[in-house]
Structures are given as structure tokens and as C-alpha cells.
Amino acid sequence: MGTALVYHEDMTATRLLWDDPECEIERPERLTAALDRLRQRGLEQRCLRLSAREASKEELGLVHSPEYVSLVRKTQVLGEEELQALSGQFDAIYFHPSTFHCARLAAGAGLQLVDAVLTGAVQNGLALVRPPGHHSQRAAANGFCVFNNVAIAAAHAKQKHGLHRILIVDWDVHHGQGIQYLFEDDPSVLYFSWHRYEHGRFWPFLRESDADAVGRGQGLGFTVNLPWNQVGMGNADYVAAFLHLLLPLAFEFDPELVLVSAGFDSAIGDPEGQMQATPECFAHLTHLLQVLAGGRVCAMLEGGYHLESLAESVCMTVQTLLGDPAPPLSGLMVPCQSALESIQSARAAQAPYWKSLQLQDVTPVPTSPSTHSPEGRPPPLLPGGPMCKAAAPAPAPSSLLDQLCLCPAPSVRTTVALTAPDITLVLPPDVIQQEGSALREETEAWARPHESLAREEALTALGKLLYLLDGMLDGQVNSGIAATPASAAAATLDVAIQRGLSHGAQRLLCVALGQLDRPPDLAHDGRTLWLNIGGKEAAALSMFHVATPLPVMTGGFLSCILGLVLPLAYGFQPDLVLVALGPGHGLQGPHAALLAAMLRGLAGGRVLALLEEDSTPQLAGILARVLRGEAPPSLGPSSVASPEDVQALMYLRGQLEPQWKMLQCRPHLVV
């Protein structure tokens, strides 16, 4: 449906006119560096370009006092000395004669973006703006921010579009205290911010940036602060914060619109943030937000002061908004102890207000100190923990993963190898319906060990599946859907796994729904992570062989995905994902779509879905659309997880946390 990019060159005009080491980092090149890189990558050209307009006095008045707006208006005619004197009345602020114009364009850009998304002209978008907005308050400029662009956009979405639930995700490295103050008693705006805090020793040094500031009055629980008490937070810490804190609340909140205070000073290299997250991480954060609100995501630039890191991170964000698969994350996926402490304290502070956090044990787990390296980072994950039957060597770095990092996404995003005659009716035009099939002799050879694949129809389906899988492994196709005959579902899946492993996949994640057992002769070498959802009981037979019952309620399904499937998947870092809807999977279209959409964040989007032959064309259609990058439909208000679902999850977490650190949402107590 398209991605908007809202910009106006005039926003490069405002700049610092005197010496001020604190403010000099907020400079015009921030915008030009980001835009130039978007052009170089061909991303700008794929967006709907919108020229920013100025916000009106009334629109600014949605969050600012008339006196403050006229004060800023008057800066247009001040001389340099007067500008400097006025700037000194605020914290970390400079005014320039063009500030009023730029700041009105920045706020107007956000309004245009929200209008474009909420009228259905586009699915999502980014406003590239300066000055930034999230520190600005009703009657005060602060932290380089003059008008609160995101807050104005939220107020406008409520007032002009009648929205009732807006999620604001502030991934800038500073606390957007301005947004917090403006909505702290408003339950229609859920504000999430993570920020460098260092126990209050980092700017803006506010007590109310801590995790126990949760909103007031009607808005209790609608302010979510995640203070980072150490620098150096990286990809694993950010993804863990999303999976274990933001997303459970966001699904429960069920927003109609997601606004992102998209500051990139939380990325590696930034002098303000001192964090470690790589630009690819922002592709993942964006991707994880796109499963909310039917994909209506409006991102607006806030901070970001390392030009290279900023430009790359902006590209990652736009590329993901455009629907391209996220590049795999680099580095060990192990959140640090300090991050877990922060996540845990935010979960504890929010638990009274959110059902999705209740029922779950929120106290720290005691363990022996030996699991910790001196600096608090756990040792690297190695296959072969106490539950692993055969000790296994660590898998070699994947050549497929390397390829995925270097190559652009294949031109064919999604291919469907299904024979149902009415399938074409439900497929978007750019999803290819595959005609080809693997060679007959080859197909027969792969089928030979399996009795259930002897029948003609089973062989035909297998031939098409093998052909599709080769296309994916060769990089011609990104994702696909293939059929499994009901009687041969397990055998077909087994062949797909073997074929994937022997044709270049180093780490294969298999998510099997319904009654599908792990193929008996699958090697325990750590190259396959088998996860069955639909087992009789929760069981971790090894760290690579996990089964859990199919959750019965939407709430249980969500906590299974966020609390189990995705942490395992992000920890495993597969280069191929198979998701099989087997006999008795019982998934509704929207649930299956959500699972497939979220798994697309792994393996560079290289996901092969296996459906039973007699699945409805509607199910195939919805899966084809999410695999090509469309947003899954929103699930609506979620029911709570059943006590059985919560117990299964808690049990598996307890078993698997020592090996799969991404499952942790609380620090270990060193006893």
C-alpha cells in the first residue's frame, strides 16, 4: 500500500550560531546525510514523496500554550545576541531566525504523515524532520526540541480522526519527558520510552524517567519507562525489551495507530547514547511494530548525531517500512544483566495494570554465580548444555547468513506452490504462482525412505516443494508456501528439513504446529531447532527439541510467540525457517498470519510455510500476503492466557533459560 517520506529542504536552515558544545551536534547535515543515503540506496525513489507543510497555530495549540507559540514566533525577528539570551532560558536549546519556520514544518510533516496513513493513501511512513520534538513541553523548549512533533500528531489523530488508542514508541536514547508530561493522565495514548538513565545521572536527570513513573489518574499504566542503567546496550537488549515488555503491553492495548519517536542516538557510534545496537536492529524494531495496528506505523525523526550510523539506521527503517525483509542481526543474542534488571523492574512496575504481565512470576531466579562472566555478560551460548543428549559442536557461521547480509532482497519476494484452482483469486499480483517442479528421479530419491510419500499426489506435491526450496536457497525467491498432503505432512516436512540442511542452510528453525513429531532420525547436532506447538504437554527434550501444547486463547497464543517462539528464534539465528501447519493445528487465519509475519523477521525473511493440501485458499492468501511483507490483520482485544498456557510457558522457560538467554526477562540473583 506504500510508504510515505515527508521532508522539506527548508528544515536544514536552522543551525547553531554561537559556541555551545552541548548543542553543536544538532546540525543540518543530519537531514542531508540521511536523505542522501536513502537516495543512494534507491529507497527514496520507492517512497511516496510528500513535501512538508507548516503546522497551523491551532494545530500547535493542540499541545502548546498560545503564549509559548507566540514567544517562538517572535524569535524570527531577533538578533543573534537576543536569540542566545532567550536560548539560555531553556535547557539545551538554541534558536535561529529560521527556527519557527523549521519547527512548524517539522510538526506539519508529522501531521501530513498521519493524515496520509489514516486516510489510507499509504500504509506507513517516515517524516525526516528537525528540530526534533520529544523533549518539548506545553510551554517550554528543551533538549534541541521546539514543538513536540509526535505529541501534536497524536493529539491530531485523536481530534481529527477520532482515534481512541495510539501507541507512541520512543526509541530515541533520551527520555521524551515532553511526551510523558503531555499524556501522563491520558489512557488513550500509551507512551513507551527506553532511555539512557544511569540511575538518574544522565541528562535530563529526572526522577520521573525511572521505571516506577507509570502515569497518573486515568492514565495509570499508560506511561512505560525503561531506564538503561549502563551504556553499551545492544541488539539483544533492545529485542528483549520489545519481546518481554513493549509488545505484550502493545498487543493488550491493541492500538489503532503506532507513532515512533525515531531517534537514532540509540544506535552504535552515537556520542550521546554510547549504545551498541547496529543499524539492522532498527529494521527489526520496525518490523516488530508493523504487526500492530494493521501496520499503520508513522515514524518521525528525533535525535541521532553520528551521521554514518544515523544514515544507515534511517535506511534500515525505511527499507522495512517498504516491506523488505529485515537483515539478520549480528552478534551474540544474549541480553546483559543490567538490561534484564531494567526490563524486570519495568515489568514489575507495570504488572498491576496489564493482564499480560500478571500470573507470570516476576521475582528474580536464583542461580549459581558460575554462569556469569566477570563483566556480567553471560558466556556465549553453546549447544550441548545439561539437557543435550549428544554434545554438539557450535554451528559454523552460516554462509547463507553472510550472503543474506551482502545481497539485496531477491526480486521475487514470495512464491506459492499450491495446486488449489481458486488460489489465484486470493493472491496479490506480485506473488508468483510456481509452475515448476524438481526432476522426477530426484523427487523419488528424496521420497524413498518414506512410505507415505509413495503415492502419486504426494510425489507431485513434494516435487513442487523441492523446486521452491531450491529457489529460496539459491536466492531467487525470498519466501514461499507449499502444500503437504494430509497423510504425508510429517514425511514432507522431514524431507524439507533434510534438503534445506544439505543445500546450504547452517541453522534451520522448524516451527511445527499441530500433530507433528520431530523426525526420528534428525541429527542432534544443533543445526535444527525443532519447536512443536501442539504437543500433548510442555517438554524440552533437549535445547533443540521443544514441544508445547497449542494455546487455547489469543492471550496464550501471544505469550507463546513473544515469550517462547521468538526468543528461541532470535537466539538461534537461523538462516532458514520452516513453518508447518500440520494436522489439527487449529489456527485461525489471523493467528497463523501473525506467527508467519513475526517469523519473517528471522533468516532475512527466508520463510517457507507448509500448508495442508486442503487448507482454504483464504488461509494460503493471508499467509502469502504477510510473507511478501503486508501487515497481518490485528487480532483485536486479546483474552487472557489460560492458567494452563501460562504454566506451560513458565515450565519451558525454567528448563530452557540457562541455554537460551533471550528467554530471560529477569536477571539471575547471584547467591
Q: Of the two residues 134 and 158, which places its CB atom closer to ligand X5A in the complex?
A: 134
CB of 133 to ligand X5A, least distance (A): 8
Of the candidate residues 103, 117, 141, 145, the single one contacting ligand X5A (CB under 6 A) = 145
Per the structure block, which three cell numbers stand in for 221?
499504566
* DSSP secondary structure string for all residues of 241-295: HIIIIIHHHHHHH--SEEEEEE--TTBTT-TTT---B-HHHHHHHHHHHTTSGGG
Of the candidate residues 2, 13, 20, 22, the single one contacting ligand X5A (CB under 6 A) = 22
Of the candidate residues 265, 470, 494, 657, the single one contacting ligand X5A (CB under 6 A) = 265
**How many chain residues interact with ligand X5A (CB under 6 A)?**
14
Q: Please, which residues bridge with residue 125 across strands?
A: 4, 298
Where are the extended beta strands (E) located within 290-350? 297-301
Q: Strand order of the sheet with strand 576-581?
A: 432-433, 412-417, 477-484, 607-612, 576-581, 508-513, 528-533, 545-548, 539-542
Q: Is 302 in the site for ligand X5A (CB under 6 A)?
A: yes
Contacts of Zn ion in 298-357 (CB under 5 A): 303
Q: Are strands 545-548 and 528-533 parallel, antiparallel or unpaired?
A: parallel
Which of these, 429, 394, 418, lies nearest to 481 by C-alpha position? 418
In whole angstroms, give the CA distance from residue 167 to residue 188.
8
Q: Is 299 in the site for ligand X5A (CB under 6 A)?
A: no
Query: Residue 45: is it exposed, middle or buried by C-beta count within 10 angstroms (0-12/13-18/19+)?
Result: exposed
Which of these, 562, 532, 567, lies nearest to 638 by C-alpha position? 562
Q: Is 228 in the site for ligand X5A (CB under 6 A)?
A: no
What's the number of CA atoms in the CB half-sphere (13 Å) around residue 365?
A: 19
Within 10 Å of residue 35's Cβ, how many Cβ atoms?
A: 18
Q: Is 470 in the site for Zn ion (CB under 5 A)?
A: no
H or E stretch at 57: helix 57-60
Is 161 a residue of the active site? no
Q: Please choose, out of 45-53, 140-148, 465-473, 609-617, the segment that lies near ligand X5A by the rule CB under 6 A.
A: 140-148
Query: Which residue out of 135, 175, 284, 585 is catalytically annotated?
Result: 135
Q: Please choose, out of 138-146, 221-229, 377-385, 393-401, the segment that lies near ligand X5A by the rule CB under 6 A.
A: 138-146
CB of 272 to Zn ion, least distance (A): 6
Site string for Zn ion, 237-266 (x = CB under 5 A): --------------------------x-x-
Where are the extended beta strands (E) located within 463-562? 477-484, 508-513, 528-533, 539-542, 545-548
Where are the extended beta strands (E) located within 268-423? 297-301, 365-367, 412-417
Q: Of the two residues 135 and 545, which places its CB atom closer to ligand X5A in the complex?
A: 135
Q: Is 248 in the site for ligand X5A (CB under 6 A)?
A: no
**How many chain residues interact with Zn ion (CB under 5 A)?**
5
CB of 194 to ligand X5A, least distance (A): 13
Of the candidate residues 71, 92, 547, 550, the single one contacting ligand X5A (CB under 6 A) = 92
Q: Please choose, out of 34-42, 143-151, 252-260, 633-641, the segment that lies near ligand X5A by the rule CB under 6 A.
A: 143-151
Residue with grid cell 523426525, as numbered in its chain: 519
Of the candidate residues 108, 125, 132, 335, the single one contacting ligand X5A (CB under 6 A) = 132
Q: Please choose, out of 165-173, 361-369, 426-434, 592-600, the segment that lies near Zn ion by the rule CB under 5 A.
A: 165-173
CB of 302 to Zn ion, least distance (A): 6
CB 271 within 8 A of CB 100: no
Residues lying near ligand X5A in the complex (CB under 6 A) are found at 22, 92, 132, 135, 143-145, 172, 174, 203, 263, 265, 302-303
Query: Which residues are catalytically annotated?
Result: 135
Positions touching Zn ion (CB under 5 A) are 172, 174, 263, 265, 303
